[in-house]
Chain A
Amino acid sequence: ELKVEQNPLFLSMQEGKNYTIYCNYSTTSDRLYWYRQDPGKSLESLFVLLSNGAVKQEGRLMASLDTKARLSTLHITAAVHDLSATYFCAVDYGGSQGNLIFGKGTKLSVKP
């Protein structure tokens, strides 16, 4: 069965702190995406990870991919309130059309 598991599902943290969100997936894939969703809004693409060992950084967020371990991480450095949102990882499980399986999401709340 194709599964994408995110951990934690909910995260409350103070500004200035660091934390890592984990995304494990059950099927072989070399395409993994991270998205951000603000309340009542749609999804915003954050990172596209396409190969083993891929690491991408944008501001206070850094994402990595280990295809052998079937694990991706989203690391938050020195969190700020503006990062409060729900973060989804999604795995492309192949096929000609590139369908995605989404994790359940991690709701991040950064408190001043």
Chain B
Amino acid sequence: GAVVSQHPSWVICKSGTSVKIECRSLDFQATTMFWYRQFPKQSLMLMATSNEGSKATYEQGVEKDKFLINHASLTLSTLTVTSAHPEDSSFYICSARLPGYSNQPQHFGDGTRLSIL
């Protein structure tokens, strides 16, 4: 089955640090990947749609300069949280869909728990 790998799984760092999260599709090519954010005991909120070879599409209220997305290849998208602060602490999850979009569920990575001190 389709596998999406996310790395790292847990990051703890000091305020002001920039943190990069990787999302890889291991056995398929994904022209589109999605980045979600989940606060404790809440649902997933789509942050942005990552498009291979072009700019990401950000949801309303998500700062593109704060959350940098790079989708440089068909199997890798990265999310960089720049100058992270405690309010950026959250669970970040990426997903990708198998090509031939229409009837496929999104496959989710294992998530990255980000804690900013």
Count contacts on A: residues with CB < 8 A to the other chain: 22
Interface string of B21-37 (1 = CB under 8 A from A): 00000000000101000
**Given A97-B49, A99-B49, are A41 and B110 also a contact pair (CB < 8 Å)?**
yes
Which chain A residues (84-112) contact chain B, with CB distance < 8 Å?
A: 88, 97-105, 107
- A33 cross-chain contacts in B, Cβ below 8 A: 105-106
Are A98 and B101 in contact (CB-based, < 8 A)? yes
- A99 cross-chain contacts in B, Cβ below 8 A: 34, 46, 49
Cross-interface CB contact of B106 among A41, A100, A101, cutoff 8 Å: A100
Check if B97 is an interface residue, CB within 8 A of chain A.
Answer: yes
- B97 cross-chain contacts in A, Cβ below 8 A: 98
Cross-interface CB contact of A104 among B42, B51, B95, B106, cutoff 8 Å: B42
Are A104 and B43 in contact (CB-based, < 8 A)? yes
Shortest C-beta distance, B97 to chain A (Å), equals 6
- A76 cross-chain contacts in B, Cβ below 8 A: none
Are A50 and B103 in contact (CB-based, < 8 A)? yes
Interface string of A43-67 (1 = CB under 8 A from B): 1110010100000000000000000
Are B111 and A41 in contact (CB-based, < 8 A)? yes
Check if B93 is an interface residue, CB within 8 A of chain A.
Answer: yes
Check if B12 is an interface residue, CB within 8 A of chain A.
Answer: no
Are A42 and B108 in contact (CB-based, < 8 A)? yes
Check if B44 is an interface residue, CB within 8 A of chain A.
Answer: yes
Shortest Cβ distance from A40 into B: residue: B113
Shortest C-beta distance, B98 to chain A (Å), equals 11
20 pairs, CB–CB < 8 Å, chain A vs chain B: A31-B103, A33-B106, A41-B110, A41-B111, A42-B109, A42-B111, A43-B44, A43-B93, A45-B107, A97-B32, A97-B51, A97-B57, A98-B32, A99-B46, A100-B34, A100-B106, A102-B43, A104-B43, A105-B42, A107-B41
Which 5 A-B residue pairs are closest in the complex by CB-CB distance? Answer: A45-B105, A43-B108, A42-B111, A42-B108, A102-B43
